[in-house]
Amino acid sequence: MGEKFEPNIIGFLCNWCSYAGADLAGTSRIQYPPNLKVIRVMCSGRVNPIFVINALQQGADGVLIGGCHPGDCHYERGNYLARRRMAVLKKLLEYTGIDPNRVRMTWVSAAEGVKFAEVVKEVTEDIRKLGPMQHFKRENKW
């Protein structure tokens, strides 16, 4: 009785830093919750806010965007642009009544396997507390 709600979290991880960091967490056999489903993008700056909205529509309860630390972006400034974008997106989502804590961003470098696991743990627990995403999920009822 009382099955725990397992959130579905989509992670957009940048190829050079956060994806490699996630890889390192895996090869180091660090345990972290399996709720994150990873989509590799070349740079966090590639993430268009419509990806985030689309993920929430298709049933994701949360979205995590992982990028390189400021100054370390492989493409010089993609992470800076992503930082600006996500700041604006979170404010917009909050104004429409969607909890901005469902969309998270993190700087994880390729050597930070431990940090990556910590981040996933934290985000999973936060979104578990928020509950399933109901607001504008695709019904697919036709």
Q: Which of 35, 106, 109, 124: binder of other proteins (CB under 8 A)? A: 106
Q: For residue 108, give both structure tokens.
A: 């994880």
The number of angstroms, rounded, from the C-alpha of 49 to the middle of its chain's C-alpha atoms is 12
Nearest to other proteins of 16, 78 (CB atom):
78
Find the shortest distance in angstroms from Cβ 30 to other proteins: 17
Candidates 9-17, 20-28, 34-42, 89-97: pick the segment binding other proteins (CB under 8 A): 89-97
Dihedral angle, C-alpha 57, 43, 45, 21, nearest 10 ° = 80
Q: For residue 32, give both structure tokens.
A: 């972290």
Q: Does 73 bind other proteins (CB under 8 A)?
A: no
Candidates 3-11, 18-26, 33-41, 51-59: pick the segment binding other proteins (CB under 8 A): 51-59
Q: For residue 34, give both structure tokens.
A: 């399996």
β-strand partners of 9: 36, 62
Cα 129 from Cα 136, distance rounded (Å): 19
Find the shortest distance in angstroms from Cβ 142 to other proteins: 4
Candidates 2-10, 13-21, 28-36, 46-54: pick the segment binding other proteins (CB under 8 A): 46-54
